[in-house]
Amino acid sequence: MSQPILVFDSGIGGLSVLAEIRKLLPQYNYCYLFDNARLPYGELEEQELISGCVALIQQLVAKTNAAIVVVACNTASTVVLPALRAALTIPVVGVVPAIKPAAKLSKSKRIGLLATPGTVRRHYTHELISQFADDCHVELFGCSELVMMAEQKIATGELDTTSLKRILAPVVEADLDVLVLGCTHFPMIRAELQQVLGEGVSLLDSGEAIAKRVVVLLTQFEGKQIEADDRKSDVAAPKIEGYYTASKISEGLEQTLVDCGFSSIEHYTTIN
Ligand code: DGL
With bands split at pLDDT 50, 70 and 90, how would you rate the model's confidence at 233?
very low
In this predicted model, what pLDDT tens digit does every residue of 149-175 receive, in sequence order? 999 999 999 999 999 999 999 999 999
Ligand 1: centre distance to CA 117 (Å): 10
| Mean pLDDT for all residues in the chain | 94
Q: Is residue 10 within 6 Å of ligand 1 at its C-beta? A: yes
Kindly report, as residue ranges, where domains of CATH 3.40.50.1860 are found in the chain. 5-95+207-267, 99-204
Q: What is the mean pLDDT of residues 53-70?
A: 97
Nearest atom, ligand 1, residue 184 CA? 4
User: What's the DSSP call for residue 4?
Assistant: P
C-beta of residue 15 within 8 angstroms of C-beta of residue 190: no
With bands split at pLDDT 50, 70 and 90, how would you rate the model's confidence at 234?
very low
Catalytic residues: 73, 183
The torsion angle over the Cα atoms of residues 178, 179, 182 and 184, rounded to 10 degrees, is -100
CATH number of 99-204: 3.30.365.10, 3.40.50.1860, 3.40.50.2300, 3.20.20.80? 3.40.50.1860
Listed residue (186, 50, 45) closest to 113, CA to CA: 186
Q: What is the mean pLDDT of residues 3-26?
A: 97
Task: Choose between 116 and 234: higher pLDDT.
Answer: 116
Rounded to whole angstroms, what are the CA distances from 198 to 156, 188, 191, 207? 25, 17, 10, 22
Q: What angle do CA 213, 216, 217 make, to 5 degrees?
A: 85
